[in-house]
Amino acid sequence: MLLSVEVWYNSFMAKYPIFLELGGRRAVVIGAGAVALRKAQALLAAGARVVVVAEHVDDMLTIQNQGANAKLIKSRYSKEYLTGAVLAIAATNNPELNRRIYKDCQELEILCNVVDEPELCDFFVPAVVKRGDLQIAVGTEGHCPAYAGHIRKKLEQTFTDKHGEFVAELETLRKRIIKDVPGPADRKTLLGQLVDDKSFEYFVENGAATWRDRAEKIIKEHKPQS
């Protein structure tokens, strides 16, 4: 019954987009092909403790060399491998096995993604543009990942490494603003001024140090006099 309820939700409910903190958390990938390897590597890059389960592991041997957070288990799938996981990805070429994995995840209340089967997904992996700490995720509700990839390529042309550097500078300034500017409305106005296109263009044209000097002057104008 739980399986049918989850499928209904996946089919008819809007998805809730989030950036999930996976640092040190267990994630299981079942499968041994190129897709499984790519999913495992992405999870490792996010800091997850990744367990890959596969009967034939030739294409996955590189996982063993990717640090203590990577574990490769040469075995047939068993539900016990899901224990303690926050999410699982089924990337096998066996539809029946993928459905079994999804059902097991529903019973254990573990988020599951079955590759290329949108109706068997609790979450979708978006196409991502990453520039430092700036991440832009594009999704299509699982309907057409290729189009999400197309949009990502267009965004990659617009957003450069400079945008990532800008975010790093903004992080430091935001902490200053929270500390020194007590009024929520003033903070919002100030941050809006510092993050707009004009501010970014000034950052690109004049460099980080000069931009910081300008930002300091703007903060002082909003800071209450003691």
As given in the structure block, the two tokens for residue 161 are 């490494």
| Identity of residue 50 | V
Residue 159's region, left for phi above 0, alpha for psi from -120 to 50, else beta, is: beta
Ranges of H-type helices in 143-223: 145-158, 161-180, 184-195, 197-206, 208-222
* Predicted structure pTM score: 0.84
Paired sense of beta strands 26-30 and 85-90, if any: parallel
H helix or E strand, kind and range, residue 74: strand 70-74
* Contact by Cβ (8 Å): 10, 121: yes
Per-residue pLDDT of the chain (226 residues), as tens digits, is 334 444 444 455 678 999 999 999 999 999 989 999 999 999 999 999 999 999 988 877 788 788 889 999 999 999 999 999 999 999 999 999 999 999 999 999 999 999 999 999 999 999 999 999 999 999 998 889 999 999 999 999 999 999 999 999 999 999 989 988 888 998 999 999 999 999 999 999 999 999 999 999 998 887 666 5
Architecture of domain 2-125 in this structure? 3-Layer(aba) Sandwich (3.40)
Torsions phi, psi for 26 (to 5 deg): -80, 130
Q: From the centroid of its chain, how far is CA 49? A: 15
Q: Tokens 């995720």 belong to which residue? A: 137
Q: Which residues 6+ apart lie within 8 Å of 32 measured at CB?
A: 52, 54, 55, 56, 57, 58, 59, 60
